[in-house]
Amino acid sequence: MCWRKCTTPHFPLHYPPGTSKWNKIEHRLFCHITRNWQGIPLETHEVVVNLIGGTRTTQGLEVHAWLDEREYPKGRKISDAELGAVCIHRQTFQGEWNYEIHPWKKRRQSGS
């Protein structure tokens, strides 16, 4: 994401160290996804996405899946000046994990 184009604040939240990396909903469905593709060779992305997307539970939960084929830049370095221009508001409790990222300071100061 290019923060220069950002016009709305973002609120990333991080799990503290030692906690599960799984989203509770994904974790709850993972056993059903595994059961759905049991015994089927996962040879292509299409097979994997279709099997995940075809998963349903007896309680009516269903999985929606799609393949993201976009190209993402790798290894991009953010300079200290660029990072300094990002407006980060840390929460008082666990500010390393809970913070808000607002549009660039220059944009906010100019009133846009």
Domain ranges of the chain: 3-67+76-109
Range with the lowest mean pLDDT among 11-20, 26-35, 43-52, 61-70? 11-20
Collapsing DSSP to helix, strand or coil, 96 comes out as coil
C-alpha distances out from residue 49 to 7, 15, 17, 42, 101, Å: 33, 27, 30, 10, 32
Range with the lowest mean pLDDT among 19-28, 59-68, 74-83? 19-28
Q: Name which residue leads in pLDDT, 97 or 53.
A: 53
Global model pTM greater than 0.85: no
Q: pLDDT, tens digit, for every residue of 66-100?
A: 898 999 888 988 899 888 888 888 888 888 888 88
Give the model's confidence band at 2: pLDDT under 50 very low, under 70 low, under 90 confident, else very high: low
